[in-house]
Every structure is written in C-alpha cells, then in structure tokens.
Amino acid sequence: MTQPVALMIGGADRTAERLAQTFTVHRAGDQEAILAAHGAEIEYLLWQGHGGCDAALMDRMPKLRAISNYGVGYDAIDMDAALARGILVTHTPGVLNDEVANTAVLLLMAVARNFAADERYLRAGRWEAEGSAPLSRSVRGMTVGIVGLGRIGKAAAEKLAVFGIDVVYHGRNPQDVPHRFYPDLVEMARDVDAMISIMPGGAATKHMIGRAVLDALGPEGIFVNIGRGSSVDEPAMIAALQEGRLGWAGLDVFEHEPHVPAALIAMENVTLLPHVGSATVETRNAMGDLAADNLAQFHATGKAITPVPECQ
C-alpha cells in the first residue's frame, strides 16, 4: 500500500525512523530540490527551526494537512497562513518542562555565582597570578519574578523554592498558585532581585521587556531569558548592561538567532548559551517522539495528541 508522504525539516534520525513507520519520509538537505520533486505529494510536515514556516512554503505543498512543530514554542510557524489553509499545527508541550526549568535555574545560579567569568579567570591563569576570584552573590533569600508562569515556569518555581528563593510572577491573568501576581511588569521588576522570562514569541510579546522593565530591575538586578529573544528589546538590554543600569544577564535565546550581538559576547556580566534549554539527548528524544506521533495519530484518527491552542 502506498504510504502518505511527509517532509522533515531538522530533527534527528530517531524521529525520521519513527515517522517512517507511517510515512514515506523526505528529509530536507536540499529543501528546494525536495519541494520541486515532491511538494505536490507532501501531506505532513515535521518542522524544526525558529522561523521560515510561512505561507510561501505552505503553498509549495498544496496537499499539506498538518505541521508538527518540534518544540513547544511555535512562533516560527505562520499560524494565520496555516489556519487559512485548514492545516493543523501541533507542538511538544510538557515533555520538556523539567529540562528547560533546570536550564532556567542553572542559568540564574551561573549568573549569580559568576561561574562563567570564574572559569575564564582560572583558565587565563589569573587565580595563580592574582589570587582569588571576586566574590559573587548568594541566591538564598532572593525574590525572583517569573515572566510567564506556565508549564515551564511552574516547574522552575518549584525548583527555585528548594534554594530558599521567593517566587512572584507576571502574566496576563492571575492564577491559583501560592505566589504573588503582578499585573504590571515594571512594578514586579522594581520589587525583585532577579527576573526569569519564559515568554512565548510572536507579535503579542514582541519587545515587552524593554528599557522601562530593565531599568526597574536595576543595577543590582539579574535578568535571565529562556523564553524567546523577540520578547526583549535587545539593543535596550545591551545599553542597560553597558551603562550599568542593569546588573547581569543570563541568556539562552536571542532576537536574531543564531546571531548573537558582539556587544553581548564582549561583556563580562553576561552568561550566554546557544539556545540549549531543552537540549539533552533524553528530552530531545521525547520531543522528537511526540512530534512524530502527533502526525501519525492525526493521520490514523483525525485527532492529534497535542495540537496548538488555536487548533484545539
């Protein structure tokens, strides 16, 4: 029997093997060549990437029925274009909560304790030449404001409590949680020692963290971002760090990935990661399995496991 055709952009061998149990799978090395040869047959798309799944791409696959996003944040997919074409979109919530929350907490710790700068200090021979590295800051007793207390944010809040950290949060709506809610982000930034942003990307959150928020966080404040770079006004953040209006930053995500501004790379008071929040073998396997199973189940039953909210 002829299998339906799926295109996989990004993703791992394991995911391709799982998809191949149901579909004839094309993997984009040369995306243009695959679309030219097979675009008319492709019904399913598994997508890994932080941009570019737009109307023009969808129009190259007129039979496209579903897009499975490898990741929980699906701002790379033009939802208006997908909905207008009747294409179902799925994502991978839940399976990465623990890993990404660990990354958030570890990044906050790394920044507070100066671990990256300390390592550079040691490797440069400065311990031996100049003596002990400068003292850092304890997280015990800190108040940390979480911007976006969703699935990942709640997992992070539990972990932060273990370190003696008080958690407060900002979102659009208050929730039934034992943490103080701030409807006003600037007010929260003013009251906390550190802020962890776990914001989704997209138009609604673009540059919501700008000069007013960062100035309120202040010269002794720490800003950690593991959500999306687009939610931060990056030039405003760089200026705040350079001018000492913001103390420190720990960043896993950037506005124009994989580009990281040279100004950030040059700064000692920032710790930088290449978008590795979920990037362990175990968690990426779980994400890949769910991404593949979403397409297989939709094909078999007409219902996906984890459609995005707009498609529920």
Query: Which does residue 251 touch among ligand NAP, ligand 8YV, none (CB within 5 to 8 A, set by kind)?
Result: none
Q: Is 273 helix (H, G, I), strand (E, B) or coil?
A: coil
Interface residue with ligand 8YV among 275, 285, 286, 297 (CB under 6 A) is 275
How far, in Å, CA of 299 to CA of 294, rounded? Answer: 9
Binding track, positions 51-90, relative to ligand 8YV; x by CB under 6 A: -------------------xxxx-----------------
In angstroms, give the least distance from the CB of 138 to ligand NAP.
25
Sheet holding 194-197: strands in order across?
180-181, 166-170, 143-147, 194-197, 222-225, 248-251, 270-272
186 CB burial (10 A radius; 0-12, 13-18, 19+): middle
Binding track, positions 197-226, relative to ligand 8YV; x by CB under 6 A: ------------------------------
Rg, C-alpha atoms of the chain: 21
Among this protein's residues, is 140 annotated catalytic? no
> In the beta sheet, which residues pair with residue 298?
none
Whose Cβ is closer to ligand 8YV: residue 179's or residue 228's? 228
Among this protein's residues, is 282 annotated catalytic? no
Residue found by looking up tokens 């920032």 in the block:
270
Query: Which does residue 201 touch among ligand 8YV, ligand NAP, none (CB within 5 to 8 A, set by kind)?
Result: ligand NAP
Count of CA atoms in the C-beta half-sphere (13 A) of 16: 12
| Catalytic member of 18, 91, 179, 228 | 228
Task: Name the DSSP letter for residue 196.
Answer: E
In angstroms, give the least distance from the CB of 161 to ligand NAP.
18
Is the separation of the CB atoms in 47 and 76 below 8 Å? yes
Residue 48 interacts with ligand 8YV (CB under 6 A)? yes
Is the separation of the CB atoms in 217 and 189 below 8 Å? yes
Is the separation of the CB atoms in 105 and 230 below 8 Å? no
Residue 93 interacts with ligand NAP (CB under 6 A)? yes
Q: What does the block give as tokens for 267?
A: 């700064």
Among this protein's residues, is 275 annotated catalytic? yes
**What is the total count of residues that contact ligand NAP (CB under 6 A)?**
28
Interface residue with ligand NAP among 96, 144, 249, 292 (CB under 6 A) is 96
For 14, 73, 293, 294, 295, the CA distances from 23, given in Å and listed in that order, are 14, 25, 11, 13, 9
Interface residue with ligand 8YV among 97, 278, 294, 306 (CB under 6 A) is 278
Catalytic residues, by residue number, are 228, 257, 275
Contacts with ligand 8YV by CB under 6 A lie at 48, 70-73, 96, 275, 277-278
Contacts with ligand NAP by CB under 6 A lie at 72-73, 93, 96, 100, 148-153, 171-173, 198-201, 204-205, 226-228, 252-253, 275, 277-278
